[in-house]
Homo-oligomer: A and B are copies of this chain.
Amino acid sequence: MRALPITATRVSTNRPPQPHNVDTLDRAAAPAPRVRFTDAQIEMAHGAGGKASRRLVEGLIAPSFANPVLAQLSDAAVFSLGGTRVATTADGYVVKPLRFPGGSIGELAVNGTVNDLAVSGARAHALMATLIVEAGLPSDVLRAEIETMAGAAARAGVPIVGGDTKVVEHGMADGLYVTTFGIGIVDQRASLGPERIATGDRVLLTGPIGDHGITILLARGDLDFETDLRSDTRTVWPFVDALLEACGSGLRWMRDPTRGGVATALNELVRGSRHGIAISEECVPLRSEVRGACELLGLDPLHIANEGQMLALVADDVADAALAAVQALPGGEQAACIGEVRDTPAGTVIATTAYGGTRVVDMLVGDPLPRIC
């Protein structure tokens, strides 16, 4: 799950800061653009992970929480703790329904938090979970989620070391909300950060997109559409581990494209930078059911949430080895190179379509699929 950390240091950088030349400043060290938040009330779109979420965080939250370490949108905060480089992440889960084909809120909560650490180059060391329960929730529903969380944590090899439980009156929540907190130690092989991307870097994607979002949509029964689609929720750490091993410092940046999808993740990467990204739509792995549902609903698969896929930017000279390493892992067989980093148009994500045209791929606007995670 994408956290929206208010501040986070970059994992590492090999370049010294050059404060007198704005063009060569590390992006992570550059002040965030000034955003004003003038909306009168909070709407669903502010939680969707797209433009409205970004405006809420940058315009309302980040200015108040400003730390010496400057604001940067990232999946986890990375800092030194007693001399150890750690990553921490906090994620809220409000998915509806609580259970769906391939997963449940408890499984998302564990995997999503493990994944936020993983894409920051950190293996999860401990999790904590806080439950907000609506009075009247059948105990068996809660028990099922607790057992699911325990199973997911065991598969990810991370203990759940604590938590908190609060109960609110019937009608003051929707069954169960879960928040998880994770802490991990940053892998010494990791040297990651948006400032490390360079022209010619390749964009890898670990598998087909949109399975999670469309599964949730169908599980709500809003669409009369029968498929075998399942959420892709899983831990991506094995992919991260393989990439760290295969690429060394050629691994530049990673992100799990959850709320807002691949389009939003890539836009956040290049926004305000001197690089752009070009992807080829034909290269993006996509199941026919997801394609069909998106066409029916007028949704762009690049905006649909994933819970077990990962984007990685890697140097061109290690891209083949990186792709082979991911494809060799169970569940990574459909990994693909979907694009590359270019000089122009800077700050923009473009896609070449199956028909040979080119279109601008924007961040998610609005919230076509609320409470997806």
Q: Which residues of A contact B (CB under 8 A)?
A: 1-8, 37, 39-48, 53, 56-57, 60-61, 64-65, 67-69, 74, 76-77, 79, 81-84, 86, 88-94, 125-126, 128-139, 142-143, 146-147, 149-150, 153, 159-169, 171-174, 177, 179, 181, 183, 185, 370-371
Given contact pairs A65-B146, A371-B168, A162 touches B81 in the complex (Cβ within 8 A): no
Q: Is the CB of A40 within 8 A of B132?
A: no
Q: Is the CB of A166 within 8 A of B77?
A: no
Q: Is the CB of A132 within 8 A of B171?
A: no
Which of B53, B81, B160, B177 is the one whose CB lies under 8 Å from A125?
Answer: B81
With A and B bound together, what is the CA distance between A92 and B61 in angstroms? 19
Q: Which residue of B lies closest to A142 (CB)?
A: B42
Q: Which 7 pairs between the two chains have the least Cβ-Cβ distance?
A: A5-B162, A47-B167, A82-B84, A181-B181, A90-B128, A77-B161, A64-B150
How many chain copies? Answer: 2
Which of B3, B68, B165 is the one whose CB lies under 8 Å from A47?
Answer: B165
CB distance from A231 to the nearest CB of B (A): 18
Interchain residue pairs with CB less than 8 A apart (24)? A2-B164, A4-B163, A5-B128, A5-B163, A6-B160, A7-B162, A40-B138, A41-B136, A41-B138, A44-B167, A65-B153, A81-B126, A82-B82, A82-B84, A82-B185, A88-B128, A89-B128, A90-B128, A90-B129, A90-B130, A90-B181, A92-B179, A169-B371, A172-B173
